[in-house]
A and B are shown apart, each in its own frame.
Chain A
Amino acid sequence: MLRPLPLATAAILSGPVLLGLLGTVLPAVGLGPLGTGLTLDPVREVLAWPGLPQAMALSLTSGLLSTLGALAVAMLILAGWHGTRAFTLLERLLSPLLAVPHAAAALGLAFLIAPSGWIARLPALALGWDVPPDLLIVQDRLGLALTAGLIAKELPFLLLMMLAALGQTDQRRRMAVARSLGQGRVAGWVKTVFPSLYAQVRLPVLVVLVYAMTNVDVALILGPNTPPTLSVQVTRWMTDPDLGQRAVAAAGAVVQLGLVLAALLAWQMGERLTARLGRAWVWSGRGLAERAARAAGLALGVLSALSILLGIAALALWSVAAGWRFPDLVPEALSARNWMRFGPEMLEVAGDTLALAAVSTAVSLLLVIGCLEAEHRFGLTVGQRALWLLYLPLLIPQVAFLPGLVAAAGSVGLGPSWPLVALGHVVFVLPYVFLSLSGPFRAWDGRLARVAAGLGARPDAVLWRLRLPMLLAPVLTAVAVGMAVSVGQYLPTLLLGGGRVSTLATEAVALAAGGNRRAIGIWGLGQTLAAFLPFALALLVPALVWRDRRGLRHG
């Protein structure tokens, strides 16, 4: 029962991805159920799309720059401030942002930085502008707003990933050596700690790169639309009522995949180059502008946390606003009417969203615990190669394999439906649940199991009555992470549900195009709360259950 589970899990993770890739490549060359026989017409049509060069350039620059940016800021914060009170504060400020869905964060940011947005209203009031300046800030053609939004949203993820890996880098002793050699705090950290830290967080960094290059929800809201990024255009082809466009979408997805692979290759070359330059820098013994680097790290960290927090605050205020015109900083009056108008439907969809999140997380959790337990009982260890497998769904652009997966499922009579969406969510939820739970699960003290076995407990009893109850806090944290991932899924829900399964993510992104900020406020807030709720429970439940077990409270 337990033994085949790791293999089954690998199949669940890689099956849809590989099947989906096949289902994407085949129609791109005219094969498959809708196809007309081998042809390069869809590819030609994509190549003939006049927006292609700019859309590709946009995907590349916004993806590479935002990943570099988030990585650099995370590095500066850790190098300059780890262990200080300011760091604790920043960590508290940034960690909850991990749960804020991408779409909600982007929506809030859009209102913050638009020429008629909150920030511009300060000079507008002071200088008496009666109309906002006609400046292309949000949706600018270079994708700068998109890049900034992605940096702000990915920074918490990278920072927490690096923080988790920091324990295995022998930071203290390395820093002691570096400092004794006269290196400054930042320069010493970057030279001695960062290289081994980066080796550990390399896969998450690549995940960020792929996501930043291929996301649809943030690009729709903050990115340009004349033309949009390549992934947005592929999604448009995909959802075109004209079924003939599906083949073009597939060809576009293949181009997108090629672009991502090229970027990953470029990144790897960049890593080598950086390593070489870095080594030369280490040997040179030269330092850094310590004060400037520390100040920049703190300022950028605070800035990115504030931009998302203020954005969410703006969404909350819009949701209860009566009239609110430029350049007023606050609404004329507050009103419960928006909530009465949009609230009931939002709550209904919130229920559906949480149900979907609960089912996909429960399936993922069962598989993950099964895998970890199999590893423990039969010594089936997950090697470095299997770790790549775990990351596969996160490293292949969603837009490259989801259209194919829809086609593949359709060809065996599985139309867009709720179960298909739930299965799709599992593919993305499972890796995060695994990453979140595997550490604490493996770190559990095995001697307890031997004592229990000595008292006559069978392995199942040890798992259910000892190990899992003791690991309640990390299990619930993994559940919360999984549910937050599910709540945030936009493209899998849209494509696998054929537009008929609505969740808070799909509704919020659809509304973003609609432009009704009151409705957006209510739905965006709903999505944020839906992602937060499991985290709150994950903190609260163990504290309540173990209120009389001091030793378990911090486990």
Chain B
Amino acid sequence: MRLPLIAALALATPAFAEPDPTDWDAVLAEAEGQTVYWHAWGGSTTTNDFIAWIGEQVAEQGVTLEHVKLADTADAVSLVLSERQAGKTEGGSVDLIWINGANFASMKEQGLLFGPFAEALPNWRFVDAGGKTVTTDFTIPTEGYESPWAMAQVVFIHDSERVAEPPATAEALLDWAQANPGRFTFPQPPDFLGTTFLKQMLIELVEDPAVLQQPVGDDYAEIAAPLWAFMDDLTPVLWREGRAYPQTGPRQLQLMNDGEVDIAISFSPGEATAAIANYELPATARTYVLEAGTLGNASFVAIPFNANAKAGAMVVADTLLSPEAQLRAQMPDVLGYGTVLDMDALSEADRAAFDALDLGVATLSPEELGQALPEPHPSWAERLAADWVARYGVAN
């Protein structure tokens, strides 16, 4: 029943006076005086400070930025969805969303996004579109419907005082855990970091990781079998014999600080450095990546189809890509996020500024991090998490 409505909507869209991203001067002119409501996860004080700083930058171009702090990005998605169901096709309450993965896939699929706009942004010329996974998001092509602003990659944190040579493959991790029972754990799936650990181990164990780029199919059981065999061996030698798990990533770091575990997983290469500075990890904490590489993905911003301040939102997206903002995001005491820019595309002065950045004692250099592995299709995360809960999340 809803299909004709969507079709009608799609046909009607060009009739609205939409800003044209390719005419940047017109975008700037329209943006002046607009207020942009950026719906972004508000759980991290450092991120909130960074968004406030971006607000100061776009204020110079006459754009007012308001950060709507979300507990969960899905809230913004359902808000846009309910606005469309209520027939609100313009003047919507969300102008910009910090988004990636499953939320982007579902918004794009349901035609809830404005665009394409990303590749028309002036600062797109600096973006490392060839080298970094900024044009696909969990295997879904972005097609200009979202603009990247930060790179994240899986790293493992270890206490170098206790584990001199950390295990850098799935097999080595299992051997190490069996030799040191009770000294490793991961956040309890369906927590995204715990699910990421499952995906990372599956990539290690599966014969051909390319199958993970396709949606989960009939051969799921066969493909995932090595992972569950591995988890059957690993679980009894986990912290508390796998009978309890930390609920989130930060809780896992607390366990490390309490001396309860020696190795932890993180999706932010700069997190360990920041945690040491905040007394949340011992000064001997260091990070490492697996020999065959680790998962990486980009954080994006997207504009809903009914956004009230599309021009202003594009100005914010463009400002996020400026070398100045990217440099600031990478500073370990600000965010410690990886840049999406291509160093070779930058001016000499900008490149020198990036080179001069001291990433911090526990952060790996881009060379050490290596090429990030692409994220599996979003359906894998969902299936693996559900399967894990059924196997290990409820005791018998």
Residues of A near B280 (CB, < 8 A) are: 516, 518
- Report Cα–Cα, A326/B261, bound state, in Å: 12
For residue A513, CB closer than 8 A to chain B, the reply is yes
Contact B248 A132 (CB under 8 A): no
| Residue picked from B241, B244, B253, most chain A C-beta under 10 Å | B244
Contact B254 A517 (CB under 8 A): yes
Contact B394 A515 (CB under 8 A): no
For residue B221, CB closer than 8 A to chain A, the reply is no
- Within the complex, which residue of A54, A136, A345, A513 is in contact with B240, where a contact is CB–CB below 8 Å? A136
For residue B16, CB closer than 8 A to chain A, the reply is no
For residue A164, CB closer than 8 A to chain B, the reply is no
Q: C-beta contact mask, B376-396 vs A, less than 8 Å → 1, else 0?
A: 000000000000001011110
By beta carbon, the residue of chain B nearest A345 is: B45
CB distance from A483 to the nearest CB of B (A): 25
Q: C-beta contact mask, A492-530 vs B, less than 8 Å → 1, else 0?
A: 000000011000000000100111111000000000000
Contact B279 A136 (CB under 8 A): no
Beyond A325-B282, A515-B252, is A51–B393 a contact (Cβ under 8 Å)?
A: yes
CB distance from A456 to the nearest CB of B (A): 59
Q: C-beta contact mask, A301-315 vs B, less than 8 Å → 1, else 0?
A: 000000000000000
Contact A514 B245 (CB under 8 A): no
Q: C-beta contact mask, A328-344 vs B, less than 8 Å → 1, else 0?
A: 00000001000001100
- Within the complex, which residue of A322, A325, A513 is in contact with B258, where a contact is CB–CB below 8 Å? A325
Contact A241 B78 (CB under 8 A): yes
Contact A226 B239 (CB under 8 A): no
CB distance from A323 to the nearest CB of B (A): 5
| Residue picked from A327, A335, A516, most chain B C-beta under 10 Å | A516
Contact A514 B188 (CB under 8 A): no
A130-149 residues at the B interface, CB under 8 angstroms: 130-132, 134-136, 139-141
By beta carbon, the residue of chain A nearest B72 is: A241
Contact B279 A518 (CB under 8 A): yes
Beyond A141-B395, A226-B393, A325-B282, is A130–B254 a contact (Cβ under 8 Å)?
A: no
Chain A residues touching B, range? 35 or more
For residue A6, CB closer than 8 A to chain B, the reply is no
- Within the complex, which residue of B71, B72, B181, B250 is in contact with A514, where a contact is CB–CB below 8 Å? B250
For residue A321, CB closer than 8 A to chain B, the reply is yes
Q: C-beta contact mask, B233-244 vs A, less than 8 Å → 1, else 0?
A: 000000111111
Beyond A51-B393, A326-B259, is A515–B245 a contact (Cβ under 8 Å)?
A: no
Contact A225 B188 (CB under 8 A): yes
CB distance from B180 to the nearest CB of A (A): 10
For residue A50, CB closer than 8 A to chain B, the reply is yes
Residues of B near A116 (CB, < 8 A) are: 258-260
Residues of B near A517 (CB, < 8 A) are: 254
Interface size on B, residues (CB 8 A): 41
- Report Cα–Cα, A114/B244, bound state, in Å: 13
- Within the complex, which residue of B75, B239, B260 is in contact with A499, where a contact is CB–CB below 8 Å? B75
For residue B246, CB closer than 8 A to chain A, the reply is yes
Q: C-beta contact mask, B258-272 vs A, less than 8 Å → 1, else 0?
A: 111000000000000
A331-386 residues at the B interface, CB under 8 angstroms: 335, 341-342, 345
Beyond A115-B260, A134-B239, A241-B78, is A225–B244 a contact (Cβ under 8 Å)?
A: yes
A235-249 residues at the B interface, CB under 8 angstroms: 241, 243
Beyond A116-B258, A132-B260, is A514–B251 a contact (Cβ under 8 Å)?
A: yes
For residue A224, CB closer than 8 A to chain B, the reply is yes
Residues of A near B394 (CB, < 8 A) are: 49-51, 54, 226-227
CB distance from A324 to the nearest CB of B (A): 7
- Report Cα–Cα, A335/B280, bound state, in Å: 13
- Within the complex, which residue of A131, A226, A342 is in contact with B260, where a contact is CB–CB below 8 Å? A131
Residues of A near B34 (CB, < 8 A) are: none
CB distance from B192 to the nearest CB of A (A): 12
- Report Cα–Cα, A514/B249, bound state, in Å: 7
Residues of A near B181 (CB, < 8 A) are: 134
For residue B371, CB closer than 8 A to chain A, the reply is no
Contact A321 B279 (CB under 8 A): yes
Contact B259 A515 (CB under 8 A): no
By beta carbon, the residue of chain A nearest B103 is: A241
Contact B244 A130 (CB under 8 A): no
- Report Cα–Cα, A50/B243, bound state, in Å: 16
For residue B74, CB closer than 8 A to chain A, the reply is yes
| Residue picked from A49, A116, A322, most chain B C-beta under 10 Å | A116
By beta carbon, the residue of chain A nearest B382 is: A242
Contact A324 B279 (CB under 8 A): yes
By beta carbon, the residue of chain B nearest A516 is: B250
Residues of B near A130 (CB, < 8 A) are: 259
Residues of B near A325 (CB, < 8 A) are: 257-259, 282
- Within the complex, which residue of A132, A226, A243, A341 is in contact with B245, where a contact is CB–CB below 8 Å? A226
By beta carbon, the residue of chain B nearest A117 is: B258
For residue B247, CB closer than 8 A to chain A, the reply is yes
For residue B370, CB closer than 8 A to chain A, the reply is no
CB distance from A256 to the nearest CB of B (A): 17
CB distance from B29 to the nearest CB of A (A): 34
- Report Cα–Cα, A335/B242, bound state, in Å: 35
- Report Cα–Cα, A327/B394, bound state, in Å: 32
Contact B395 A516 (CB under 8 A): no
By beta carbon, the residue of chain B nearest A138 is: B244
Contact B250 A134 (CB under 8 A): no
Contact B279 A226 (CB under 8 A): no
Contact B259 A226 (CB under 8 A): no
Contact A134 B258 (CB under 8 A): no
- Within the complex, which residue of B182, B247, B282 is in contact with A225, where a contact is CB–CB below 8 Å? B247
CB distance from A106 to the nearest CB of B (A): 14
By beta carbon, the residue of chain B nearest A50 is: B394
Residues of A near B182 (CB, < 8 A) are: 134
Contact B260 A515 (CB under 8 A): no
Residues of B near A510 (CB, < 8 A) are: 71
By beta carbon, the residue of chain B nearest A129 is: B259
Q: C-beta contact mask, A242-281 vs B, less than 8 Å → 1, else 0?
A: 0100000000000000000000000000000000000000
A100-121 residues at the B interface, CB under 8 angstroms: 114-116
- Within the complex, which residue of A132, A225, A341 is in contact with B45, where a contact is CB–CB below 8 Å? A341
Contact A513 B260 (CB under 8 A): no
CB distance from A366 to the nearest CB of B (A): 33
Contact A514 B248 (CB under 8 A): yes
- Report Cα–Cα, A486/B72, bound state, in Å: 25
Contact A226 B244 (CB under 8 A): yes
Contact B259 A131 (CB under 8 A): yes
CB distance from A55 to the nearest CB of B (A): 8
CB distance from B238 to the nearest CB of A (A): 10
CB distance from B106 to the nearest CB of A (A): 10
- Report Cα–Cα, A385/B283, bound state, in Å: 63
B152-186 residues at the A interface, CB under 8 angstroms: 181-183
- Report Cα–Cα, A87/B9, bound state, in Å: 74
Residues of A near B393 (CB, < 8 A) are: 51, 226-227
Contact A513 B248 (CB under 8 A): yes
Residues of A near B248 (CB, < 8 A) are: 513-515
A42-83 residues at the B interface, CB under 8 angstroms: 49-51, 54
- Listed from nearest, the 3 A-B pairs whose CB atoms lie closest are A515-B251, A241-B74, A51-B394
- Beyond A50-B390, A54-B394, A130-B259, 11 additional pairs, beta carbon < 8 A: A51-B394, A134-B240, A134-B260, A226-B242, A241-B78, A243-B78, A322-B279, A325-B282, A341-B45, A515-B248, A515-B252
A–B pairs, 7, beta carbons within 8 Å: A54-B395, A131-B259, A136-B241, A224-B243, A226-B392, A513-B247, A515-B251
Give A residues with C-beta under 8 Å from B.
Answer: 49-51, 54, 114-116, 130-132, 134-136, 139-141, 224-227, 241, 243, 321-327, 335, 341-342, 345, 499-500, 510, 513-518
Give B residues with C-beta under 8 Å from A.
Answer: 45, 71-72, 74-75, 77-78, 181-183, 188, 239-248, 250-255, 257-260, 278-280, 282-283, 390, 392-395
